């Protein structure tokens, strides 16, 4: 039987895009504690300019993630349980529908709505506080954060190449300007 999605899961939760969550916090994590960590890193390194400030933000997010890896375990367990609830509910509903309808791979719209509501209700009751990970979407999983870190690593590598090129060009400019000022000037109008 073809699997029918119960609900369209948000790929990226709007909660994760704004405010403190836009810097990598998940629902339930303390934005004030993250800000404190960030301020401590700023005090330690005193960044100057946009690129140094961005490097400090990246360091803060990585240190934060390392300190809060257990959050991903809880999120993963919540999603696994949610998926089991969905699968069981879907199976039960399909059995009921098979008795009263002709064979079809699609659930009728009213059955899809009922399934979604039943799954949500049972998941909220069973997961309790961990339901916040379901509300956050699949962004609260280790796979998701590792995918984001991989993309960021590639972007950081591209930035590193640009900074290296810029510093190289500045060094060349500095060398050529100091070299040209130290060379004796030839006056073409005078004879030796």
Q: Are residues 39 and 69 in the same domain?
A: yes
Among left, alpha and beta (phi > 0; psi -120 to 50; other), residue 19 is: left
Supply angle C-alpha 49, 51, 55, rounded to 5: 115
Residue 37 included in any domain:
yes
Torsion of CA 76, 143, 41, 51, to 10 degrees: -150
Would you say residue 105 has pLDDT above 80?
Answer: no
| Structural domain that includes position 18 | 14-144
**In the chain, how many domains are there?**
2
- For the stretch 29-81, pLDDT in tens is 899 999 999 999 999 999 999 989 999 998 998 899 888 888 888 888 899 99
Closest to 77 (Cα-Cα) out of 128, 150, 9, 23 = 128
- For the stretch 143-191, pLDDT in tens is 887 888 888 889 888 888 888 888 888 888 888 877 766 666 666 555 5
Lookup result for tokens 């969905």: 86
């Amino acid at each position: 039987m073809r699997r029918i999605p119960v609900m369209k899961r948000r790929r990226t939760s709007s909660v994760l895009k704004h405010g403190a969550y836009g810097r990598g916090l998940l629902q339930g994590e303390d934005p004030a504690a993250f800000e404190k960590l960030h301020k401590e890193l700023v005090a330690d390194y005193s960044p100057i300019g946009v690129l140094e400030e961005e490097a400090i933000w990246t360091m803060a997010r990585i240190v934060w993630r390392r300190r809060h890896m257990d959050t991903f375990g809880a999120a993963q367990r919540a999603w696994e349980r949610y998926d089991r609830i969905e699968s069981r509910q879907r199976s039960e509903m399909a059995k009921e529908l098979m008795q009263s309808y002709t064979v079809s791979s699609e659930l009728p719209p009213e059955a899809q709505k009922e399934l979604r509501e039943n799954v949500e209700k049972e998941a909220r009751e069973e997961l309790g506080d961990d339901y916040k990970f379901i509300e956050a979407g699949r962004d609260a999983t280790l796979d998701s954060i590792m995918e984001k870190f991989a993309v960021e690593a590639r972007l950081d590598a591209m930035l590193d190449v640009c900074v290296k090129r810029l510093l190289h060009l500045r060094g060349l400019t500095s060398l050529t300007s100091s070299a040209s000022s130290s060379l004796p000037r030839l006056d073409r109008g005078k004879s030796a």
